[in-house]
Amino acid sequence: MVMKFFSVDGALYKFLTRLWDMIKLNFMWLLFSLPIVTVGAATVAAYTVTLKMVDEQEGYVARQFVRAFKENWRQGIPMGLLALFCSYAVYLDFELQRVTEGNSTMFLIFGIIAAFVFGMSFIYAFPLSARYENTLIGTLKNSVNIATRYFLRTLLLVAVLAVEVIIFIFNYTTLLIGALIGPACIMLTISGFALHFFKEIEKEPGAVQEKETDRDGEK
């Protein structure tokens, strides 16, 4: 029993392998996001890998990531820039609420509404872009549709993500762990929920299937 636990087919080996893959993926995402403008393409590439991880079809993480980055940069870059702009708009609303006297409630309400709308638009947008061919607008619409259709489970996902963030920033030790695997862990969590929804929708008559390159990609 003990020998099996430590063997290449054992739980420990699988855990350490997955942990190392997460560290590599996190590093690749950070490296390819450094120019800032490429953060969207890097995020789509990372989701390409995490979706395969959830489906237990991942292969060489770095190779798959680079390949996905090259295939998705045209849509990933504008999507990332739009997400950054929307995030800054939400931040600005809350910042104005903090510094404004008198009518600060208006900025608070606008900030909450904007955060909700942008969250619904983007929570599944990047995994959708990683799995399916579509326009930017079409991807955002589908993200809203899925978030609305699976609203309660999406709220559960948000709660899980909030717990993960709290754990990663709890102290200096967990902050270091978060720096090593935090973004990749968050994307893997979203991928777990998203892939389940995607597969349910793909079973419906006339549903669009995943990209051919993803199904036939190298392992």
pLDDT digits (tens, 9 = 90+) for 60-104: 899 999 999 999 999 999 999 999 999 999 998 888 877 776 667
8 A C-beta contact, residue 120 and residue 98: no
Q: What angle do CA 167, 168, 170 make, to 5 degrees?
A: 60
pLDDT above 70: percentage of residues in the chain = 90
8 A C-beta contact, residue 209 and residue 56: no
Residue 98, helix vs strand vs coil:
helix
- Size of the chain in residues: 219
- pLDDT tens-digit readout, 26-66: 999 999 999 899 999 999 999 999 999 998 887 789 999 99
Rounded to two decimals, what is the model's pTM?
0.87
The amino acid occupying position 101 is E
8 A C-beta contact, residue 111 and residue 93: yes
- In degrees and rounded to multiples of 5, residue 25 shows phi and psi of -65, -40
Q: What is the CA radius of gyration of the chain?
A: 19
C-alpha count within 13 angstroms, C-beta hemisphere, residue 147: 22
Question: Of 127, 160, 121, 139, which is closest to residue 43 (Cα–Cα)?
Answer: 127
